[in-house]
Homo-oligomer: A and B are copies of this chain.
Amino acid sequence: MSTEPALLLALDLAGTFAFALNGALTAVRVVRLDIVGVVTLGMITALGGGIIRDVIIDYLPPATFSDWRYLAVAAAGSLIAFVFGQRLDRMTGTITMLDAAGLSLFAVTGASKALDMGLGPAQAVILGAITGVGGGTVRDVLIQRIPTVLRSELYAIPALVGATITVVATRTDIYGLPLALGAAVVCFGIRMVGVQFGLNAPGPPGRRRG
């Protein structure tokens, strides 16, 4: 069964919006950029994962460039974050939560789209994870941080879990709105629990973590 296109689009745009807010707030808070820098970083964070996904699955030009809603949503999210970002209390928590939301939604839509384009299940899981972590990784490279996906908190694992649920559900013909949202919620939950409790994946054997 192919995923309902409208569902996929809605989730994809929601992820785009979350990452646009996240990238733009990061620019306001961490790097203190001006409006062009803020909107640029917001749009790159919002669109980066999907562009990487679409290049790999050979869906070119990427959805970002064939459907105006992606650009509009990414620009709107970035501008909103620029305008309201200064008034925000608890900025760091908000930034982390928006990142987790984007990660979760994109892991699900990336895996779905990969299956729709004929990729195998393992590849679809990996591609879902790449879609989820892609925008944030480009964001971190541009502002010279070691990307979150490499640092120790749980980040790639929830994306892989969300993508796996999506692939299994699609293969067993039970995919649909509740399941897609469920997969995203599971991914989001694992990520936020990891952030909350500072849980990390295990380090190499024979070494103590400081």
Binding site for B on A (CB under 8 A): 27-28, 31-38, 40-41, 51, 55-58, 60-62, 65-66, 68, 71, 82-83, 85-87, 117, 119-120, 122-123, 126-127, 137, 141-144, 146-147, 149-152, 154-157, 200-207, 209
A150-B142, A201-B35 are known contacts. Are A57 and B61 too (CB-CB below 8 A)?
yes
Closest-CB distance, A91 to chain B (whole angstroms): 12
CB-based contact A146/B144 at 8 Å: yes
Q: Which residue of chain B lies nearest to A149 when distances are taken between CB atoms in the complex?
A: B40
A33 to B201, CA, bound (A): 9
Task: Say which residue of B51, B66, B87, B203 sits within 8 Å of A35 (CB atoms).
Answer: B203
CB-based contact A202/B34 at 8 Å: yes
CB-based contact B142/A68 at 8 Å: no
A39 to B50, CA, bound (A): 23
